[in-house]
C-alpha cells in the first residue's frame, strides 16, 4: 500500500548520489568526438537556426559555494582579450558551415557575464547583429553587485528580454558564510532598473541547503522575494562537494543541514511559493501563474537544457567560450577549460574541443525519455518496454509506486508531487551507465 509520507529512514535510502541529467549521457560517460565528426553532424542537423550559449568565466569575487568554471580577477583587460577570442570562435563556425546561420537566441552564463564592460558587451554582440532571427530572444545571468544601467541599455537595444539575478539568499549570516553579500535594497534597485528598461522577464536564482540556513531564514528570504515578484524562480539544491571543489572547503560542514533537516528548507519554501501563485513546472523551477514559462508548461511545450527550462529550443545549441557545451541531435562537445589553451586552439583555427560524444540510437531514445520525465513527469509503458532493460525498470518503478512516489495508469507511470523531489533518482533508472555514484551530488 502506498504511503503518504516518506519516512526519514526511507528518505535517506532514496537520497542517492545521482546526476542532474542536463544531458544524457552525462558528461562523465562521454566517449569522445573529434572536430570533423562534430562539424559533419552540424551540417546534417541544421534546420531553422541555432541557440547560442556564451560563457563568461570572470568574477570579481569568489563565492564559496560556487561549482562553476570561473576565474577571479578585477582586471577588465582579461575580458577584453576574451571577447576578442569569442568573436574569433564565432567566425570559425561561420567559415566552416556552408549555410547562413540564423541565431534564435543567445544566453550569457558564467562566471559573471556582467563582468564585461558595456563597451565590451557592444563589441561582442555586434558580431551577431546580421544573424539574428526575426523572433530573437536574449537572456543573461546578472550579478546585482556588478550590473549597471549602461549594461541594461546595451542589452535591451540588442533585443534581450530576460534577466536572471543571482540572489541565493537574503539572510546576512548566510551571505557572509558564502562570501556573497548583497542587500535586499541593492537587489530591489537593480530589479526596478531591469523593469524600467522593458525586460519581459525577471528570474531569481536561489539555493537551499546553504550554510547557516534555517526554515525561518528561508521563509524570510522568500517573503522578500515575493515583494519583488520575479516571473521565474530557480531554487537549486546546494551540492556540497569539497573533495572536488576546493573553494567549498571554506564552508564549515557543521553549518550545513543534511537529510530531512535540509529537505525541510525545500518543503517550507515550496509551500510558500505555491501559496503565492508560483507554479512548480519542473525540477528546481517555478513560474508565476500566467507567465510564459507557466503557459509552456500547461501547453506541454516545455524543454530542459543546460541552462534550465525554456519555452522553445532550436535543433542546435552552440556553446562559445571556455567550458561551454554544444549540442545537436547527434551528440555533444565541451570546450576546453583552460583559457590559455582556448586561445591557442582558436589561433590555430581549430575548435577548442576538450571532450565530446556521438549519440547511439539507444542513448538518444533514453535521452528523450529522461527529457519527458523532467518536463512532464511521466513515461509511457510502451517506451519503457522498448528499452533493453525495460522489465527491470518497470519492476523498480512499481517499487517506487509502493512507497508513494509513482502513480500507475493503463498506459504510463506518472511521478506525483512527493516523487518530484526524487526525480533525479527516478531518472537514473533509465541511465544505462549508472553504477558509480561517487562523482555526483546527493539528490536532496
Residues 396-409 pLDDT 10s: 999 999 999 999 99
Taking the C-alpha atoms of residue 135 and residue 159, their distance in angstroms, rounded to an integer, is: 9
Taking the C-alpha atoms of residue 55 and residue 58, their distance in angstroms, rounded to an integer, is: 9
Q: Which residue segments constitute the domains of the chain, with CATH numbers given?
A: 1-21+360-434 (1.10.10.920), 22-317 (3.80.30.20)
Percent of the chain with pLDDT over 90: 84
* pLDDT band (50, 70, 90) for residue 2: very low
The pLDDT of residue 194: 98
In this prediction, residues 351-359 reach a mean pLDDT of 96
Mean pLDDT for all residues in the chain: 93
Angle between helices 149-158 and 118-125 (to 10 degrees): 10
This prediction's pTM: 0.93
Q: Torsions phi, psi of 160, nearest 5? A: -75, 140
* pLDDT band (50, 70, 90) for residue 3: very low
| Higher pLDDT pick, 369 / 258 | 369
Nearest partner of 121 among 106, 105, 104, judged by Cα: 106
pLDDT tens string 158-195:
999 999 999 999 999 999 999 999 999 999 999 999 99
* pLDDT band (50, 70, 90) for residue 435: low
Amino acid at each position: 500500500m502506498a504511503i503518504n509520507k516518506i519516512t526519514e529512514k526511507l528518505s535517506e535510502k532514496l537520497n542517492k548520489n545521482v546526476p542532474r541529467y542536463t544531458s544524457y549521457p552525462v558528461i562523465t560517460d562521454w566517449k569522445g568526438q573529434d572536430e570533423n565528426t562534430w562539424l559533419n553532424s552540424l551540417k546534417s542537423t541544421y534546420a531553422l537556426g541555432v541557440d547560442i550559449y556564451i560563457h563568461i568565466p570572470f568574477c570579481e569575487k569568489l563565492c564559496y559555494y560556487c561549482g562553476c568554471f570561473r576565474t577571479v580577477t578585477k582586471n577588465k583587460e582579461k575580458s577584453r582579450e576574451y571577447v576578442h577570442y569569442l568573436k574569433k570562435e564565432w567566425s570559425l563556425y561561420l567559415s566552416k558551415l556552408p549555410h547562413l546561420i540564423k541565431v534564435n537566441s543567445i544566453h550569457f552564463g558564467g562566471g559573471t557575464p556582467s563582468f564585461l564592460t558595456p563597451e565590451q558587451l557592444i563589441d561582442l554582440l555586434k558580431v551577431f547583429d546580421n544573424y539574428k532571427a526575426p523572433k530573437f530572444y536574449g537572456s543573461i545571468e546578472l550579478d546585482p553587485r556588478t550590473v549597471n544601467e549602461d549594461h541594461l541599455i546595451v542589452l535591451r537595444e540588442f533585443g534581450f528580454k530576460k534577466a536572471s539575478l543571482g540572489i541565493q539568499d537574503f539572510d546576512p549570516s548566510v551571505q557572509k558564510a558564502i562570501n556573497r553579500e548583497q542587500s535586499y535594497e541593492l537587489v530591489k534597485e537593480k530589479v526596478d532598473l531591469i523593469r524600467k528598461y522593458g525586460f519581459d522577464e525577471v528570474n531569481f536564482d536561489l539555493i537551499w541547503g546553504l550554510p547557516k540556513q534555517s526554515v525561518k531564514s528561508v521563509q524570510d528570504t522568500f517573503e522578500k522575494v515575493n515583494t519583488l515578484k520575479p516571473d521565474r524562480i530557480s531554487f537549486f539544491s546546494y551540492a556540497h562537494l569539497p573533495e572536488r571543489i576546493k573553494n567549498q572547503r571554506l564552508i564549515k560542514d557543521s553549518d550545513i543541514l543534511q537529510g530531512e533537516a535540509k529537505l525541510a528548507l525545500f518543503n517550507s519554501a515550496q509551500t510558500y511559493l505555491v501559496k503565492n501563485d508560483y507554479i512548480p513546472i519542473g525540477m528546481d523551477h517555478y513560474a508565476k501563474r500566467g507567465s510564459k514559462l507557466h503557459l509552456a508548461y500547461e501547453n506541454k511545450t516545455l524543454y530542459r537544457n543546460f541552462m534550465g527550462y525554456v519555452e522553445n529550443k532550436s535543433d542546435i545549441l552552440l556553446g562559445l567560450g571556455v567550458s561551454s557545451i554544444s549540442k545537436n541531435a547527434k551528440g555533444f562537445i565541451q570546450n576546453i577549460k583552460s583559457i590559455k589553451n582556448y586561445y591557442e586552439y582558436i589561433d590555430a583555427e581549430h575548435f577548442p574541443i576538450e571532450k565530446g560524444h556521438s549519440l547511439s540510437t539507444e542513448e538518444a531514445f533514453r535521452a528523450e525519455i529522461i527529457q519527458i520525465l523532467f518536463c512532464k513527469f511521466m513515461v509511457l509503458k510502451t517506451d519503457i518496454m522498448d528499452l533493453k532493460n525495460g522489465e527491470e525498470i518497470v519492476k523498480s518503478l512499481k517499487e517506487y509506486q509502493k512507497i508513494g512516489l509513482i502513480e500507475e495508469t493503463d498506459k504510463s507511470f506518472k511521478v506525483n508531487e512527493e516523487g518530484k523531489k526524487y526525480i533525479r533518482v527516478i531518472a537514473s533508472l533509465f541511465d544505462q551507465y549508472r553504477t558509480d555514484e561517487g562523482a555526483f551530488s546527493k539528490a536532496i
